[in-house]
């Protein structure tokens, strides 16, 4: 009956070494039409008060992925431009519009800042993630804030793969043969864990303890 079937094929699955940083616990809807909901501004630390003189680092840096349009470090005027935008480019609910509201009367630097925000957040999702190890117990940090691809979901893992320059989101899966593997969802921005910060947060003596092999597919 089965004589026409060939031998069982074993598909090679690449194994990549790295470590888990955090698991996604909350995510936003896809950011569309250039509107960032007030609840995600607040989760990033924003408080809508007229007397505020600064914006939390993790808010403005996440909005621009901590980079200028050319990929260099963000300019020093970004925080002030962000503050101005949050105080002038929001609607009655407090949602931030990165385009089309009183654009002609905006200061040029605010327009440049919001253009950068639009290019970063468009068609992506914000998320909060809790670290998956005990590395943060002594640091007193709350959930990590990030921005990732529009198909990320709660339960996905934010990981550092050795050799990659940015964190990636992986989803644990198993197939019909019960083979366990990880699906690559995409790259992400995770505030406080970029530019090698995640690796430096691990004690040198325990680095190997946190590393594991990820079969990717």
How far is Cα 183 from Cα 172, in angstroms, rounded to an integer?
6
In the predicted model, what is the mean pLDDT of the chain?
A: 84
Residue 187 structure tokens: 């790259």
pLDDT at position 201 over 80:
no
DSSP track, the chain:
--TT--PPP-----EEEEEEEEEEEEEPPP--TTEE-HHHHHHTT----TT-----HHHHHHHTTT--TTSSPPPTTHHHHHHHHHHHSB-TT-PEESSSSSGGGS-HHHHHHHHHHHHHHTTEEEEEEEESSSTTTTTT--PEEEEEETT--TT-EEEEETT-SS-EEEEEEE-TT--EEEEEEEE-EETTS-TTHHHHTS-GGGHHHH-EEEEB-
pLDDT band at 14 (very low <50, low <70, confident <90, very high): confident
> Which pLDDT belongs to residue 81?
95
Give residue for tokens 């990732």. 148
> Which pLDDT belongs to residue 41?
95
Nearest residue to 146 via CA among 194, 192, 190: 190
pLDDT at position 7 over 50:
no
| 147 within 8 A of 192, measured Cβ to Cβ | no
How many residues are recorded in the chain?
217
> Which pLDDT belongs to residue 10?
42
For 140-193, what is each residue's pLDDT tens digit?
Answer: 568 999 999 999 999 999 999 988 889 999 999 987 776 889 999 999 999 988
How far is Cα 189 from Cα 61, in angstroms, rounded to an integer?
10
Residue 33 structure tokens: 């039409």
């Amino acid at each position: 009956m089965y004589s026409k079937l060939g031998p069982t094929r074993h598909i090679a699955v690449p194994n990549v070494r790295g470590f888990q940083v955090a698991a996604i616990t909350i995510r936003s809807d896809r950011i569309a039409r250039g509107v960032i909901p007030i609840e995600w501004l607040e989760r990033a630390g924003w408080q809508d008060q007229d007397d505020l003189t600064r914006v939390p680092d993790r808010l403005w840096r996440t909005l621009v992925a901590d980079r200028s349009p050319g990929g260099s470090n963000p300019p020093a005027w970004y925080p002030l431009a962000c503050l101005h935008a949050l105080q002038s480019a929001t609607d009655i609910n407090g949602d931030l519009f990165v385009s089309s509201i009183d654009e002609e009367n905006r200061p040029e630097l605010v327009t440049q800042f919001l253009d950068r925000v639009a290019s970063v957040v468009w068609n992506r999702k914000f998320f909060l993630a809790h670290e998956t190890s005990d590395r943060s117990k002594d640091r007193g940090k709350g959930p990590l804030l990030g921005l990732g691809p529009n198909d990320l979901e709660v339960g996905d893992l934010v990981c550092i793969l050795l050799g990659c320059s940015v964190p990636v989101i992986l989803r644990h899966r198993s197939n019909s043969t019960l083979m366990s593997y990880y699906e690559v969802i995409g790259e992400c921005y995770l505030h406080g864990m970029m530019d090698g910060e995640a690796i430096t947060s691990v004690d040198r003596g325990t680095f190997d303890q946190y590393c594991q092999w990820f079969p990717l597919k």
